[in-house]
Chain A
């Protein structure tokens, strides 16, 4: 407990220190960190921005329970960066403004398009941020003995300080620190567990190695163990391939369309820096994402190996009871299980009354019922104890989980505050606003968004749907934002009418489908083409693109000015001013001559 407090206080202190150092002096600082973040630094910040509490705590456990089926998260949440680097980031950077609705509103010369993009950005970001704040609350209540709501208030306070004072500049540099904390906390226990099970200290290699001292590979052994207990093979899945295909696609294109990821690439100095930065972001993400499947497989292996058929201990005096069981020739339940039982993340119910703990799958050959429940987060949280690491490593894990949640929350807050202060106030409602006023509104909006996110976090238990909303965020980003940004760059002929039709279709169809099949009719046999709500954004993305193209073709082409603008953003260094679209823009980057000069 003391170590946990130490790491949490030390890491929070660092974040506040960075915030005080990196204060924002202008809207340029506040929205895009002055456009001068180093590509590698931005890559690191993007990795922290991207990897949420769910990536850090839940993903490995999800893979552990899904086996091959968990691959959709691994491929989906990394493959999106290839799309981002090749199709979006360099061009949006060349466009040279602050936000995603900025691009949509200007490229499609339409206030309506801008407002719809604001709605998409706000909806995606709010659904995502509520989960982060409740993650912070859970970490505090479970590990520091602080009340859930108080935990959220502390988290809100920290994010408030660096997001409201420092804007994107403060967020960028705290995210770098948060990345270091979270990757260290994640990989250290993984290395020790890999050595323990396979003898290879590199988890990515341990994953494909033999079990230590035996002539059988870890995965083969795992397949054998889980099938004997009545589960499907670890390296297979019972999802249909079309659903695996669609979910992977929705996560990939959704990743590329998420506003809080896109805006990170506005902070570097040029289009080519944006490309390199996307590469670095994926390197830093891959460090965790290639370790996660190893952590998942090791955890599945280890938990079955150490818990199945052991003798349960009722009393609090673990040591004496365990000694008694051992002297009678039995194996006691491992101590970590008893420790985590208190948090409710693992549980045991003795169905057959034999005192032994049976882990069983749905088709167990011996016909016994499963008696052990294991929350997905255990794979990561209990990993230090399973690997018998010292107690301070657990403190590090808690600090790492908080870093992952806070860094993602801060990135989302920047999207929310800029959508309100820049896109709604400056560019839609009060056009002549000064930079100073806008900066003040941006700070107020960020503060308001922190409060709203905190309140949503505190009410997640009541808002039952929040647990289901990941599907919303990715599906909506894939079906409503990705097609119009992509077509806006790669197809000059795409016009205002097409964009509005495309976004409106993507937003309404995806939202309705997910809502209907998550809450009204949960029978999978009714799914459209057999695609689950998690994957539907991928299917609707194509429809939404086709609708955009057809509507564009039957209406007037975009004005010449806009077509010239599209040509400019395709070729780095040729961006010039284009009439009213760029009226409110500050000086161009120095490599770009303006017509007046």
Chain B
């Protein structure tokens, strides 16, 4: 194979990846453990439709956010890959 790989900034790529991962895990923690377990009693004072909000996060909301998190991660990783010259 003759084509020399384009300039890859592996260090920059990795630190951007780690930063993104940490911020997404904060959201992951907030919607499940945060809203669904630790802050449930507070959130339950509010309703979404006919369900207490904390209960809803534990049984429905967290799952929707999980799905969104993974697809956002794919989107953001593609951008990071382009920026640092990485071919995914």
A residues in contact (CB < 8 Å) with B? 63, 68, 70-71, 74-75, 78-79, 81-83, 85-87, 204-205, 207-210, 216-220, 235, 241, 244-245, 248, 252, 270-272, 275-276, 278-279, 282-283, 286, 289-290, 293, 490, 567, 570-574, 591, 593, 597
Given A75-B32, A490-B18, 4 further pairs, Cβ under 8 A: A82-B70, A218-B50, A293-B59, A591-B87
- A68 near B81 with CB under 8 A, answer no
Please state if A574 and B55 are interface contacts (CB–CB under 8 Å).
no
Q: Are B67 and A282 in contact (CB under 8 A)?
A: yes
In angstroms, how far is the closest chain B Cβ from the Cβ of A252?
A: 8
Residues of A within 8 A of B87 (CB): 572-573, 591
Q: With A74-B58, A85-B70 in contact, do A208 and B50 touch (Cβ < 8 Å)?
A: yes
CB distance from B36 to the nearest CB of A (A): 6
- Distance A572 CA – B88 CA, assembled complex (angstroms): 5
Q: In angstroms, how far is the closest chain B Cβ from the Cβ of A478?
A: 15
CA distance A87 to B70 in the complex (A): 11
Q: Which residues of B contact A82 (CB under 8 A)?
A: 24-25, 28, 66, 69-70
Q: A208-B56, A272-B88 are in contact. Are A79 and B62 (CB under 8 A)?
A: yes
B50 touches A219 (CB 8 A): yes
Q: Are A279 and B71 in contact (CB under 8 A)?
A: yes
Complexed CA–CA distance, A83 and B71 (Å): 13
Decide: B60 and A207 in contact? CB cutoff 8 A. yes
Given contacts A245-B33, A272-B88, contact A74 B63 (CB under 8 A): yes
B64 contacts across to A, CB distance below 8 A: 286, 290
Query: Are A208 and B51 touching (Cβ within 8 A)?
Result: yes
B60 partner, pick from A81, A293, A573, beta carbons under 8 A? A293
Query: Which residues from chain A contact B63 at a C-beta distance below 8 Å?
Result: 74-75, 78, 286, 289-290
Chain A proximity of B47: nearest CB distance (Å): 8
Kindly identify, within residues 4 to 46 of chain B, every residue whose CB is under 8 Å from any CB belonging to chain A.
5, 8, 10, 13-14, 17-18, 21, 24-25, 28, 32-33, 36-38, 44
A and B contact pairs by CB, cutoff 8 A, 29 listed:
A68-B55, A71-B36, A71-B55, A71-B59, A74-B63, A75-B58, A75-B62, A78-B66, A79-B28, A82-B25, A82-B28, A82-B66, A83-B28, A86-B73, A208-B60, A209-B49, A217-B50, A218-B50, A219-B55, A220-B50, A235-B44, A245-B38, A275-B73, A275-B74, A279-B74, A571-B14, A572-B81, A573-B5, A597-B1
Q: What residues of A have a CB within 8 angstroms of the CB of B13 in the complex?
A: 571
Asked if A210 and B14 make an inter-chain contact with CB atoms under 8 angstroms apart, the answer reads no
Let me know if A593 and B24 touch, CB within 8 A.
Answer: no
Most B CB contacts (10 A, CB to CB) among A82, A216, A217 go to A82
Q: Bound state CA distance, A81 and B63, in angstroms?
A: 10
Query: What distance in Å separates the Cβ of A70 from its nearest Cβ neighbour in chain B?
Result: 8
* Contacts known (A71-B58, A81-B70, A271-B88); A217 close to B51, Cβ less than 8 A: yes
Q: Which residue of A lies closest to B22 (CB)?
A: A86
State how many angstroms separate the Cβ of B23 from the closest Cβ of chain A: 11
Contacts of A272 in B (CB 8 A): 74, 77-78, 81, 88
Q: Contacts of B25 on A, CB cut-off 8 Å? A: 82, 86
Q: When the two chains form their complex, are residues A282 and B70 in contact, meaning their CB atoms are under 8 A apart?
A: yes
Max chain B Cβ within 10 angstroms of own Cβ: one of A83, A216, A283, A572: A572
Least distance between A249 CB and chain B CB atoms (Å):
8
Cα distance A74–B61 when bound, in Å? 11
Distance in Å: Cβ of A31 to nearest Cβ of chain B: 23
Cα A456 to Cα B32 with chains together (Å): 36
How far in angstroms is the closest Cβ of chain B from A497? Answer: 25
Please, which residues of chain A bring their CB within 8 A of the CB of B36?
A: 71, 75
Q: Which 9 A-B pairs have the closest CB atoms?
A: A217-B50, A208-B49, A272-B88, A71-B58, A279-B70, A573-B87, A293-B59, A208-B51, A572-B88
Chain A residue numbers with a CB within 8 Å of B66 are 78-79, 81-82, 282, 286
Asked if A574 and B73 make an inter-chain contact with CB atoms under 8 angstroms apart, the answer reads no
Identify the closest chain B residue to A84 (Cβ).
B70
Query: Contact between A278 and B77 (Cβ–Cβ < 8 Å)?
Result: no
In the complex, are the beta carbons of B88 and A235 less than 8 A apart? no
Query: How long is the Cα–Cα vector from A296 to B60 in the complex, in angstroms?
Result: 13
The distance from the CB of B8 to the nearest CB of chain A, in whole angstroms, is 7
Instruction: Please state if B86 and A571 are interface contacts (CB–CB under 8 Å).
Output: yes
Query: Given A71-B59, A217-B49, do A571 and B10 touch, yes or no (CB 8 Å)?
Result: yes
User: Whole-angstrom distance between the alpha carbons of A286 and B13 in the complex?
Assistant: 31
Residues in B with CB closer than 8 Å to A275 are 70, 73-74, 77
Hey, which chain B residues are within 8 Å of A220, CB to CB? 50
Chain B nearest Cβ from A469, distance in angstroms: 25
A86 touches B67 (CB 8 A): no
Please name the residue on chain B nearest to A67 by beta carbon: B55
Closest to A220 in B: B50
